[in-house]
Structure 1
């Protein structure tokens, strides 16, 4: 029966609908990547330049650096506003309807772009509106995935959002490469933008087929619907009393009951130090910091302006170089899906930032010391450096930053904190898009030294402030951040109360309760809880 359609992943049942949910929602990441990747080559297409670029001193069309910055970066401002609005729509309408709304806004923005004729302002407004939709999705998708995916596949499912971002960038690069032969026709850029509408439809329609977030349903008091959603996601909708479903429900009920005792969190609570929920401000600033620095690793320095950068470096086919970077990005993100579950979050993020710092130093040093226009070896080294940087980002900071905001926040303020973190991502994205043409016209490839410094800052942020959440339920992640003496660099040793390991409950606890009876069971439960806490404290000190 359909209710029993499930597969074993990491030792636990995961339903077909959980896999369908991961595949469908990840299209939101594809749209993000597709819009990110397309603009780099469009800026070089002749018809696009003839319509929207400015008259140069020799009568040829060329981009004014401020107008180019504004055209590229205003989409990021739209995404920032859309991300903040996502907190409201996700809470008001539910996660699924909010995502359908995001797709609708994205389609409207693409229609505005396609109908642009001669005005760069018209094109810019279209990118701004499309950004509103993408920003809304950038909050809704990771939050929905993290709340709905069984914990055994949660990291990989949320990381698949970044995989689809990279796939979207690659597909846009392939399409750009394919239409470059008709770059003198308006069909070139209209095809690229119009295909975004086609790609968005499976998400807008398909999302309504999968279950709503169990945690959102439970927060509205719809416990039977939440139980059914858990059953469907586990492939057990005809066996809702299954221990797996019961475990998911009971664990969620415990934390929800505690949170509901103190009401619903508002925006100010995200920045409060006087709440019953531990480290709320700490986690808000951590999420914003990680996502801001994800952009300031420098990844969109290459994806927004890579074709322009390598064109100025004298590379014969800069669009082909973009295609190569996009392929590396996709290939290494598959590796990132493995790394996030195998090695956790902290070490890959820390080492990835250091690796990226090193290759950006090479890129900037070679580009500054040896003019690539006159030295082909310099150009090759810069391309290799860019590939090595992208490889690391795709395997670490690309997917894992999204995993972190899906796991770090308490349910009561999760939507708002996720919105703030994603807004930090889009703020960093906007600054990269806006400042890059201005900075490169002034300091050229030495701009890479700035990104080397921000990667070093990202490594320090992870080491000193991020807790390891691998294999923990969302409720136990919340509990971990509340441990007063637990340090981020020892957090991987912490085990939740009532668990033998991070994944396995202490089943003797439940057996003792059933043997002792109601009164004895209550006493045994308290004893076991104290033992588990003591064990957790001991683990912290080892």
Structure 2
């Protein structure tokens, strides 16, 4: 039995083995994101790393705040630029080849870092180039996953991107912990960076053997290839006219024909687009959610956790960082269940409130009873950090990536996804750049800032985000076009032709199947969806 015939029953519907493999392979992009995020926290306190790239006289070197900020944060500027460029590469070359390009850039950046000898600028530029690749992947992976995966598993597959981010952070923390014994040697940090190259290869090569996005193919008139790709993802390659494939195909086809009639979306349209499908509304919403995902404060701990806990008097800050990484991984699994059973809105609201509470505790305890003077305060602050990360991992971590994959219309999806992801990296850059200065200036009071941003995030989700659970991407577009529908009422919205969001009206679809839209005779009709 070939891959095209391999079918798995999930959530009451057929999902192809290739759809599962697609989810697993592409989520490595999240692993690279997490690995690069987690590695710098431990590396910046390695003896050889400080002696090579720190400032001051030999034997007494340390990082200036501005230099440390630049070394850590310039990667985020690279990812911001990479995210914006991802809109072009994903549309020009297709979703798969764009991901391979992102991996190539990541590898080049890591090679530049490994070859750095004593110049912090050399190291910083290597992180910048690696960031270009990670930024490209952070746009391409959720978009490719959301366009390819059957709706029954779409939420979990896109959320798995965040799961692999947590794995990447944990693995980098484990490796940092493992090379502590040789931290006086350049091999310590070079091993950490070099392993990132090995981890990236399965994504860069493996994605080329997976189906191309049926929506990208259909958008270029390759309807035969789009149908085959959709059948492969349902595990029905040998039966591309199966009713299940046919219904999905017709629904996609009608939407794309309508959108194609008015041409391709522009960057300008993302900000002054048609009011009917709320293009501008969704652009701003996606940017706000992704900016606030970073300003929940998660990378305050993952970028600088080791140095923060070291200054708090913790004997083994890398071990604490490892604990935080483990909590991050373990608590992401419930999020994969919650997103398909509960939806998007309620977990995001509850998560933001929970995170705000624990950050308030973290900041208040740190100021009232400094942990370097009171050992019990350090314990409370570690517990608060763990509880915060547990909530982030179950809600804002994975859910923000699901939202970016589901919210935008096909016409402007690549550009809006790039803008939202760029906002994520802008927030990431601000956190990574400002934290050393905030730590020196206001100390643990920085937690009060994150308390406020989490509260703001809860308010924005309640008043502006629509519930997209169990909807096809084309149905999401229709729902956002319903101007009389309010976000807090959206959970009850059901698309035409459905008894509820999970149950088709058989009579309706039998009638529609009898009046199928003719397939346009596009200029491009390929013979293989994997080409």
Give the TM-score range, shorter chain. Answer: over 0.9
| Per-residue CA distance 1:136-165 (angstroms, 9 max, x = gap) | 000000000000001100000000000000
Name the structure 2 match of 1:408: 407
Q: Map Cα deviations across residues 280-312 of structure 1 (whole Å, 9 max, x no partner).
A: 000000000000000000000000000000000
C-alpha change, 1:23 and 1:513, in structure 2 (3 Å) is closer
Once the two structures are TM-superposed, the CA of residue 512 in structure 1 deviates from its matched residue by 5.4
In structure 1, the partner of 2:27 is: 26
* Contact 2:173/2:322, CA 8 A, preserved across alignment: yes
Question: 1:168 and 1:447 mapped to 2: Cα distance?
Answer: 26
Structure 1: gaps spanning 5 or more residues? 523-542
- The answer (yes or no) to whether the contact 1:277–1:410 under 8 Å persists in 2 is no
User: Are 1:50 and 2:51 counterparts?
Assistant: yes
| Other-structure match for 1:473 | 472
* CA apart distance, 1:511: 4.3
**Measured at CA, do residues 278 and 290 of structure 1 come closer, stay the same or move farther in structure 2, by a change above 3 Å?**
same
Residue in structure 2 matched with residue 104 of structure 1 by the alignment: 104
Matched, 1:208 2:199: no
Query: 2:251: which partner in 1?
Result: 251
Between the aligned partners of 2:407 and 2:236, the Cα distance in structure 1 is 28
Shift, 1:257, TM fit: 1.2
Unmatched 5+ residue regions in structure 2?
518-531
Q: Distance in 1 between matches of 2:388 and 2:270?
A: 34
Correspondences of 1:211-230 after superposition (within 5 Å): 211-230=211-230
Cα distance per residue 1:437-476 (max 9 Å; x no partner): 0011000001100000000000001000000000000000
Moved over 4 A (4+): 511-514
Q: Please name the residue that 1:264 is paired with.
A: 264
Q: What's 2:164 paired with?
A: 164
User: For residue 524 of structure 2, what is the aligned residue in structure 1?
Assistant: none
Once residues 154 and 224 of structure 1 are traced to their aligned partners in structure 2, the CA distance between those partners, rounded to angstroms, is 23
Match status 1:282 vs 2:300: no
Query: In the TM superposition, what is the alpha-carbon distance from 1:217 to its structure 2 partner?
Result: 0.2
For the pair 1:295 / 2:294, whether they are aligned, the reply is: yes
Q: Structure 1: how far apart are the matches of 2:315 and 2:510?
A: 71
Name the residue aligned to 2:334.
335
Match of 1:450 in 2: 449
- 2:391 maps to what in 1? 392
Question: Using the alignment, how far apart are the partners of 2:498 and 2:370 within structure 1?
Answer: 59
Please report the TM-score for the alignment, with normalisation by the length of structure 2.
0.96
- Mapped contact 2:30–2:161 kept (Cα < 8 A): yes
User: Which residue number in structure 2 is paired with residue 36 of structure 1?
Assistant: 37
TM-aligned CA deviation for residue 47 of structure 1: 0.2
| 8 Å Cα contact 1:73/1:430 also seen in 2 | yes
Shift of residue 513, structure 1, vs aligned partner: 6.6
Alpha-carbon distance change, 265 to 277 in structure 1, aligned in 2, over 3 angstroms: farther
Distance in 1, matches of 2:48 and 2:313, equals 22
1:477-533, Cα deviation, whole Å (9 max, x unpaired)? 00000001100001000000111111222112244578xx87xx99xxxxxxxxxxx
Q: Give the corresponding residue for 1:381.
A: 380
Distance 1:405 1:496 in 2: 21
Greater RCO between the two (CA within 8 Å, min separation 6)? 2
Q: Deviations over 1:222-265 (max 9, x none)?
A: 00000110111111000111111101110001111111121111
Please give the alpha-carbon distance, in whole angstroms, between the structure 2 residues aligned to 1:49 and 1:472.
51
Following TM superposition, by how much is the alpha carbon of 1:278 offset from its aligned partner in structure 2, in angstroms? 1.0
Equivalent runs, 1:297-312 vs 2, <5 Å: 297-312=296-311
Whole-angstrom distance in 1 between the partners of 2:508 and 2:32: 47
Which residue does 1:91 correspond to in 2? 91
RMSD over aligned CA atoms reads 1.4
Preserved contact between residue 346 and residue 466 of structure 1 (Cα < 8 Å): yes
Give the match for residue 117 of structure 1: 117
CA distance in 1, matches of 2:364, 2:409: 44
- 1:323-356: CA deviation from partner (whole Å, max 9, x where unpaired): 0000000001111111111110000000000000
CA distance in 2, matches of 1:244, 1:41: 50
What is the aligned partner in structure 2 of residue 460 from structure 1?
459
CA-to-aligned-CA distance 1:37-89 (integer Å, 9 cap, x gap): 00000000000000001117x96111100000010000000000000000000
2:310 is paired with a residue of what secondary structure? Answer: helix
In 1: Cα distance, 2:348 partner to 2:115 partner = 42
Give how far 1:111 is off: 0.2
Q: Is the 8 A contact 1:79 1:134 kept in 2?
A: yes
Local SS of the residue matching 1:221: coil
Secondary structure of the corresponding residue to residue 55 of structure 1: coil
Match of 2:438 in 1: 439
Q: Deviations over 1:344-378 (max 9, x none)?
A: 00000000000000000000000001010011100
State the alpha-carbon separation in 1 of the partners of residues 232 and 351 from structure 2.
37
- Cα offset, 1:4, TM superposition: 2.0
Cα distance in structure 2, aligned partners of 1:213 and 1:260? 17
CA distance in 1, matches of 2:419, 2:364: 35
SS at match of 1:500: strand
Q: Work out the CA distance in 2 between the residues paired with 1:380 and 1:265.
A: 52
TM-score in terms of structure 1 length = 0.94
Q: Distance in 1 between matches of 2:305 and 2:337?
A: 28
Which residue of structure 1 lines up, in the alignment, with residue 520 of structure 2? none
Partner of 2:127: 127
Alignment length (residue pairs): 516
